[in-house]
Structure formats: structure tokens, C-alpha cells
Structure 1
């Protein structure tokens, strides 16, 4: 194998039991800003808590008292570009300090719900 590939590409899969670790949490998608990628009130993401920017990906940020999913990219000038999937919402920039105050976690997995009714029965 080529040394040019990231080591995680050929790593063993994460054991299923690891997905129940207390450092992971399931976060509901609470607004429509990321539609069609995520449906408000129907989709979930798995999040690892973080206090800083790591790399361009999806993050959960606290905005106006709510936890929201956003696409985030660091810029060469040090600013953090925060984006949504819907054009009705404006992109904006944060300083690294503002981002570190707002960030709650980094999205590591999408949770696809197949049967909402069965989930409701299982937890009631």
C-alpha cells in the first residue's frame, strides 16, 4: 500500500460498542438551515465534544441558545467561515476566539432513522 494514503483509510473499523461511549452524543438537527442534507426534527448526528477548530467539516455550534449543525472552514486569514446548505441563510465569519466560544462538538457520523414509531415505543 502507498504511504500517501491516510493511515485511517486502512484502519480497523470502530467496534460497535465504542459508539455507546460517554464521549459521544447524539444531537438532533433542530433547524432547517442544513436541508436537504439534514431534515429538521427528523435527522440526527453523532458528535464528539470539542472546544476548537480541527479541520473543514460539520460542527455543532451554540447560536442564540440553540445547538445547530453548520459547515465550517478555516480561512488563511485566521477567520472561520460558517455556512449552511440553504441559500435563504447567510454565511458568516467568526474569529477563532468567537468560534471556540460557540463550538460544542464536531460531527463524526450521521444517524439515519428508519422507523420513528418503533423508536418512540422502545423508549416509552
Structure 2
């Protein structure tokens, strides 16, 4: 039965100087990722690494976009929130100029009281 699941990743492997935690700032990926409440763990990259959620520097600001490979090698960028209907298509070379990182995990906050430093109280 254990062959069906990937082996567990030890916590010390996740704690890396390479990975960055970032608060979700916009509602573009809602309802899956809530703004100003949820966080993502991002690996800095410089190229396309398969379909997923990426941190993109577009129009002077960094934002999360879902990226899909399309026929012909083009990459389609869009947000999950149905309020945002814009879709962008880039070549891989164009994508490499704007990609900042790929989301490797999301962190759903259950109780924000424990995230705030209250002096040990």
C-alpha cells in the first residue's frame, strides 16, 4: 500500500536557504489561496518547470499566476479567480524574462494568533 504514496519529506529538507515564504497578497488565486491570510513556499527559478503556480514579475509587480504548457510550446498564464479573465501567452524565452519562482507548497493559516510575536504570552 505504501507504494501508492510518495515517501515523506523530512522537515530538515524543507528548511533551506533556497526556499522563500511569501504571503499571498492578491485575490487572483482565490478561493484556493486567500489574500493576506495564506502563504506560499517559493523556489527561485529562471525557467519553466512544468505546469503549476509561478511567481511572475509582470507590469512592475510580482504576482502569482497559474502556468500551463500549450500546444506549440507556448505558455499560458492566468489566475484561478473567475473575476480575472485575462490570459497571457508567452514563448518560453519571454517567460524566462519574467519568472521569479515556482510555488512548491502552500500554507493555509488556521489560527493566525500563533503567527504573531506576542512576547511569549
- Please give the range of the TM-score, normalised by the shorter of the 2 chains: 0.7 to 0.9
* Pairing 1:56-67 to 2, within 5 Å after superposition: 56-67=51-62
Structure 2 residue 114 is the aligned partner of structure 1 residue 118? yes
Q: In the alignment, what sits opposite 1:72? A: 67
Following the alignment from structure 2 to structure 1, what is the Cα–Cα distance between the partners of residues 7 and 28?
34
- TM-score, with normalisation over the residues of structure 2? 0.85
In structure 2, the gaps of 5 or more residues are none
* Distance in 1 (alpha carbons) for counterparts of 2:119 and 2:45: 28
Aligned to 1:106: 102
Which structure carries more helix by proportion? 1
1-side partners of 2:109 and 2:102: how far apart? Answer: 20
CA distance in 2: counterparts of 1:62 and 1:122, whole angstroms: 34
Q: Tell me the CA shift for residue 67 of structure 1.
A: 2.1
- SS at 2:117's partner residue? helix
1:62 offset after TM fit, Å?
1.3
What is the CA-CA distance between 1:69 and the residue it aligns to?
A: 1.3
Number of equivalent positions: 118
Is 1:42 matched with 2:33? Answer: no
After the TM superposition, which parts of structure 1 deviate over 6 Å for at least 4 consecutive aligned residues?
none
Instruction: Tell me if the contact between 1:30 and 1:67 (Cα under 8 Å) persists in the aligned partners.
Output: no
Q: Show the counterpart of 1:91.
A: 87
Deviations 1:29-67 (A, max 9, x none): 111111111111111111111110111111111123322
How does the TM-score come out when normalised to structure 1? Answer: 0.83
